[in-house]
Amino acid sequence: MPGRIAGALERDFERFRREWPHDFAALVRSTYRVDLTGRYLGAVLPHPVGKGSGQLSLNEGQLEEDARAGLAFAVLKTLIAEDETGAQAMAAWAIHETRMAVERRAASDGRPGWTVTWKGRGWDRSLSDYLTLVRAGRDLTRAGRLLVVPSVKFHLPRLGEPFREAEYRHTTAALAAAWGEPPLLVEKDFSPTLAGDPLADDRAPILRWLKEVPRHIRRASPVPVRIAVKLLNARFDDDFQVEMMHATRDAESLVCFNRLFDPELGVAYGGWDLSNRNLRVLDLHRPPPSFTALDHPLVGTGNISSGRMILEYARRGCESVQLHTFFQLPLSEYAATHGSRTARVLHTLVFHPQDGLIAGLLELESRGEVERRDGELHFLDVARHAHRAG
């Protein structure tokens, strides 16, 4: 990296420890000629960093803090679908649990990392409470401050059983009414605890869900809908993960891949085992010849705690990323000394002089992996290049 730019990056990293700038993506563009634009569910984002569904998107206060820090998007906690009588086929996922433990977890190769241990599952309050949160998210989205997207777990039948259409219809109609102006954006969660459930003991039912669930959501929705499918890490091999990606034809985004499941402890976990597995599978993935690049926009999730890791996902086709664990570390783990957790996370991810997004993109340029267009480096070119290679 030229000394002048390295010096500017060091200085920005230092000064933003104490005071996080208002529109950091614009600042990065004008100072470094780096365009961080990302994409999720067809929406253009100022940069690629979003929050994955979970305990960090349960209330309006959390969303407001994310908007203030300049996060690109937040996926709300997963709602468990219900029909008009309130019946939930997936009620086992609507259990209440508050205790979370942020713990160190070494990967199978011994590399130290972090995981969050938590026995809870989906949204455990009423549908009407969820709709209040969706309306708050809609207002932030309309104001252009933060793209907010609801997440749902709909009924997943055993092989041979029908889908409970009434749950799909009632829940999508309620979300569409709360959201207002179409299209409705929704993420469909296939969670890690599902991988530990007898429902997902066989490959055939999983492939059937991935083929059919988006169709059921589309048919049930009273308005046009854009669907992100968040794929589970199933308890099968890497090739099956790729098969799952190919089976999911009818989605606008594929989120790859939710946490691993530890059958002995009965909990989901993350850390380096998760990113190793996810990146390995994305390496194997080649869109089949019948796909165009646009058929399979990817979103990365899993063990992202640096700009470099964002670029590892981007080099394999991901146009944005969703983080959870990195927002939950002890404050002493962040370089920034002031500001919200969201701002401290963004500070490290973007401005770290060695491992941040700016430094990483400049390094990819020096290796000839990405080229300037009109004098600027573009984050999305990294993902685009991956598709060309595929």
Ligand X SMILES: Cc1cc2nc3c(=O)[nH]c(=O)nc-3n(C[C@H](O)[C@H](O)[C@H](O)COP(=O)(O)O)c2cc1C
Among 28, 63, 74, 78, binds ligand X (CB under 6 A): 78
Window contacting ligand X (CB under 6 A); options: 195-203, 213-221, 316-324, 346-354: 316-324
Binding mask 322-361 for ligand X (x = CB under 6 A): xxxxx-----------------------------------
Binding mask 251-290 for ligand X (x = CB under 6 A): -------xx----------x---x----------------
- Tell the residue number behind the tokens 């290796």, with chain if given: 367
Check residue 319 for interaction with ligand X (CB under 6 A): no
Among 87, 100, 107, 242, binds ligand X (CB under 6 A): 100
Q: Which residue of the chain is nearest ligand X when measured via CB?
A: 52
Q: Which is nearer to ligand X, 172 or 278 (CB)?
A: 278
Check residue 301 for interaction with ligand X (CB under 6 A): yes
Rounded Cα gap, residues 125 and 129, in angstroms: 7
Binding mask 26-55 for ligand X (x = CB under 6 A): --------------------------xxxx
Q: Which is nearer to ligand X, 260 or 362 (CB)?
A: 260
How many chain residues are in contact with ligand X, going by CB under 6 A?
27
Per-residue buried b or exposed e for 96-128, using 16+ beta carbons within 10 Å of the residue's own CB: eeeeeeeeebebeeeeebbbbbbebbbbbeebe
Check residue 116 for interaction with ligand X (CB under 6 A): yes
- First-to-final CA distance of the chain: 29
Among 35, 189, 312, 381, binds ligand X (CB under 6 A): 189
DSSP annotation of 177 reads H
Q: Which is nearer to ligand X, 27 or 199 (CB)?
A: 199
The helix (run of H) or strand (run of E) holding residue 299 is: strand 298-301
Burial category of 240 from C-beta neighbours within 10 Å (exposed 0-12, middle 13-18, buried 19 and up): middle
Residues forming beta bridges with residue 332, ordered by sequence position: none
Q: Which is nearer to ligand X, 55 or 365 (CB)?
A: 55
- Least distance between ligand X and beta carbon 284 (Å): 20
Window contacting ligand X (CB under 6 A); options: 9-17, 114-122, 156-164, 310-318: 114-122
Smallest Cα–Cα separation from 260: which of 152, 92, 155, 107?
A: 107
Are 312 and 379 in contact, with CB atoms under 8 Å apart?
no
What DSSP string runs through 186-251? Answer: EEEE--HHHHTSGGGSSHHHHHHHHHHHHHHHHHH-SS-EEEEEE----SS-HHHHHHHHHH--S-
Q: Which is nearer to ligand X, 38 or 54 (CB)?
A: 54
Among 77, 296, 352, 387, binds ligand X (CB under 6 A): 77
Residues 6+ apart with CB under 8 A from 144: none
Rounded Cα gap, residues 324 and 33, in angstroms: 29
- Tell the residue number behind the tokens 């309309």, with chain if given: 142
- Least distance between ligand X and beta carbon 389 (Å): 25
Binding site for ligand X (CB under 6 A): 52-55, 77-78, 100, 116, 118, 122, 151, 189, 191, 230, 258-259, 270, 274, 301-304, 322-326
